[in-house]
Amino acid sequence: MANYQLNDSKMFADITDGIAIIINSETGIYYGMNAFGTQIYENISNGVSTEKIWEKIKTLGTEEENFKAFLDAMIEKELIIPANNSNAEPNIDENIAKEDNFILELKEYNDAQELLLADPIHEVKEEEGWSPEKSSLNEDKEDVARREAKMV
Amino acid sequence: MTTNKTIQEKIREYNDNLLKFIKSNNDVKYIFYLDLGVKTVRLICYSEEFIPHIQKQLAYSLKENAEKYDTTIILWKVNDIKQTIKYISSDFDLKTNLKLRAELIVRKQISIYDNTYSKTKPIFNVNSTHDVINSYDRISNTYFYGVKNLDPEEFIKEGHIFVQILNNILKTPNTNLVHGACVGLDNKGILLCARGQRGKSTLAVLAMIEGFEYVSDDYLTLEKEGDNLYAHPIYSIITLSPRMYNELYDRLDGTRFISNNARKDKYVINISNFHNQFKKKYPIKLCMFPEIVSDKEPSIKECTQQEKGRAITHLIHSTIFQMNDIHDINTIQKLIKMVKEYEFYKINLCNNIFKNVECLKEFIKEYKNG
């Protein structure tokens, strides 16, 4: 039995409208999957073993070569790493698989590395005016709460 | 969407669709006007939740009617930021546009620039950290401002309500929004120039409590008219640290506590009960640079050239940083021109805030009388 999980030390994953994106925070490369691929990734990250997933999807018509290539690519790109065994059962929506012709897709994109690796734009804070005044944080909380309540 | 559209055409389409989206989900709840002295702004509220924030923060400037207005701000409550932008354009379909989704995930915002508008400020911006959508339609001169969380303690984290939009609106060749304080006596206005933590707000607030004429402790509009410089109030709120709030507590009677800004490091207080001391088009007579010192008594003396330079730097630095104008050389030059001919004084503030205000009062009473 082989179980995997998201390599969350360097990867960030998001699923929106049934489509997953996984971003490598060290390289700025991101990976997109089709809806069927997203289902498989979700099952993997939910602790379903790759054997159980294969047992399920081979009956749908997915080619073993396609499944292996999809899995190998995720491992090779370090999107997923080995995880502890789990008894989770697969949950595959056949309609979604059918819409993608039972083909699993994983695509790599490197068109936003500069953007994604640059320091995020931090909002300009009122560095001084709004910054925590440490001494003031030690106020008597009960007294402050009492005064706040009175002023509302 | 065809790829040969100009950025201006795209932005126009986004804004048209955004307005359709807002209208399809909401009715107009209220229309207000803001009389900012140099500009009048129409506020169209599509969410009732905005109204108390506007009424508390902008009470002095708020009007029910106006003969004319210069610009419009459309306010609405964002329910689902992804759904909203998806409606605006297929460009923002995060299911298919993975690059944009990656940008939103990593940078927490989507920023679209129109270089003919500004190279440094996005004309369309989505911020997923605070769930805020901002846009500007140049043709109708309309700003869009949508916020998801309008709970008082969350909303106040954004700082003064739509101050960034007002900064854009108030930017003309002779006017600018400024981060500074202004109080005075007998129409002798003192512009307090300093970054935070230098006693500027406390001095201005206590001066107001002690009967000074008042424009602002934080944000105001400066207007250059010939050789004269005038200050206009915008907000009816002050912000105080808990320590200062406690110290002034007995004298703040009648004010309305609004929020503790969720972190309890600043209290936001409505000062509508002091509106009779607010002054519009208030003439600036001098600039002052506060500094907290360990002296037992406060003192005021004319700034050296070096100190004047520091004071102007503080005024400009805090303004352009808070307004995201750090690359706006025109604003920097304009602000320098506005204040450079003025006399600058340094006020050394002691630990006794009441003595500081008394010192300021004595000084301004005697300042250039006759």
Q: CB contact, 8 Å: A116 with chain B? A: yes
Could you report the per-residue pLDDT of B194-223, keeping only the tens digit for each? 887 788 989 999 999 999 999 999 999 999
Give, as one character, the DSSP assignment of residue A28. Answer: -
CB pairs under 8 A between A and B: 114
pLDDT digits (tens, 9 = 90+) for A111-127: 888 878 865 443 334 33
Of all helices (H) and strands (E), which one includes residue A78? none
Q: What is the residue whose two structure tokens read 């068109």?
A: A111
- The set of residues, in sequence order, having a beta carbon less than 8 Å from that of B262 and lying 6+ positions away, is B153, B154, B156, B157
Measuring CA to CA, which residue among B21, B347, B9, B16 is closest to residue B204? B347
Q: Where are the domains of chain A?
A: 4-120
Q: Which value, to the nearest 10 degrees, does the dihedral of the CA atoms of residues B307, B313, B314, B320 take?
A: 170
For A6, the 3-state DSSP assignment is strand
Q: Which site among A123, A131, A139 would you substitute to test the B interface, given the most B Cβ atoms closer than 10 Å to its Cβ?
A: A123
* Six token digits for residue B50: 């905005």
Taking an 8 Å cut-off on Cβ atoms, the answer to whether B265 and A139 are in contact is no
Looking at beta carbons, which residues of chain A come within 8 Å of B197?
Answer: 128-129, 131, 133
Instruction: Determine the angle formed by the axes of helices B81-88 and B7-25, rounding to 10 degrees.
Output: 130
Report d(CA B301, CA B185) in Å as an integer: 18
CATH architecture of B175-366: 3-Layer(aba) Sandwich (3.40)
Torsional sign, CA B302, B305, B307, B310 = positive
pLDDT of A152 higher than 60: no
Kindly determine whether residue A17 and residue B103, on different chains, have CB atoms separated by under 8 Å: no
Q: Which strand (E) or helix (H) includes residue A43?
A: helix A35-45
Cβ neighbour number for residue B25 with a 10 Å cutoff = 13
Q: Report the residue from B94, B245, B267 with minimal CB separation from A16.
A: B94
Alpha-carbon gap, residue B363 to B315, rounded angstroms? 22
Query: Considering all CA atoms of chain A, what is the largest pairwise distance in Å, rounded to the nearest integer?
Result: 71
Residues of B within 8 A of A136 (CB-CB) are 241-243, 265
Q: How many CB atoms lie within 10 A of CB B333?
A: 11
Distance CA B238, CA B260 (A): 12
Tell me whether residues B196 and A127 touch, CB distance under 8 A. Answer: yes
Note the pLDDT tens digit of each residue in B69-113: 999 999 999 999 999 999 999 999 998 999 999 989 988 899 999
SS3 per residue for B216-230: ECCEEEEEEECCEEE
User: Could you give the percent of chain B with pLDDT greater than 70?
Assistant: 98
SS (H, E, C) chain B: CCCCCCHHHHHHHHHHHHHHHHHHHCCCCEEEEEECCCCEEEEEECCCCHHHHHHHHCCCCEECCCCCCCEEEEEEECCCHHHHHHHHCHHHCCCCCHHHHHHHHHHCEEEECCCCCCCCCCCEEEECCCCEEEEEECCCCEEEEEECCCCHHHHHHHCCCCHHHHHHHCCECCEEEEECEEEEECCEEEEECCCCCCCHHHHHHHHHHCCCEEEECCEEEEEEECCEEEEEECCCEEEECHHHHHHHHHHCCCCEEEECCCCCCCEEEECHHHHHHECCCEEEEEEEEEEECCCCCCEEEECCHHHHHHHHHHHHHHHHHHCCCCCCHHHHHHHHHHHCCCCEEEEEECCCHHHHHHHHHHHHHHCCCC
Q: Which of left, alpha, beta for B241 (phi over 0: left; psi -120 to 50: alpha)?
A: beta
Q: Digits of tens for pLDDT over chain B (370 positions)?
A: 446 889 999 999 999 999 999 999 999 999 999 999 999 999 999 999 999 999 999 999 999 999 999 999 999 999 999 999 999 999 999 989 999 999 899 888 999 999 999 888 999 999 998 899 999 999 999 999 999 999 877 787 778 999 999 999 999 999 999 999 999 999 999 999 988 778 898 999 999 999 999 999 999 999 999 999 999 999 999 988 888 888 888 888 777 777 766 566 778 889 999 999 999 999 999 999 999 887 789 999 999 999 999 999 999 999 999 898 988 899 999 999 999 999 999 999 998 999 999 999 999 999 987 5
SS3 category, A7 = coil
Query: Residue A116 contacts by C-beta under 8 Å, 6 or more apart in sequence?
Result: A23, A28, A30, B102, B103, B106, B107
Chain A's closest residue to B241, CA to CA, is A136
Considering only CB atoms, which chain B residues are within 8 Å of A127?
195-196, 321
Q: At what angle do helices B200-209 and B353-366 cross, to 10 degrees?
A: 70
Q: Which residues of B touch A111 (CB under 8 A)?
A: 99
Within a 10 A sphere around the Cβ of B332, how many other Cβ atoms? 16
ipTM of this complex prediction, to 2 decimal places: 0.71
Q: Cβ of B241 and A137 within 8 Å?
A: no
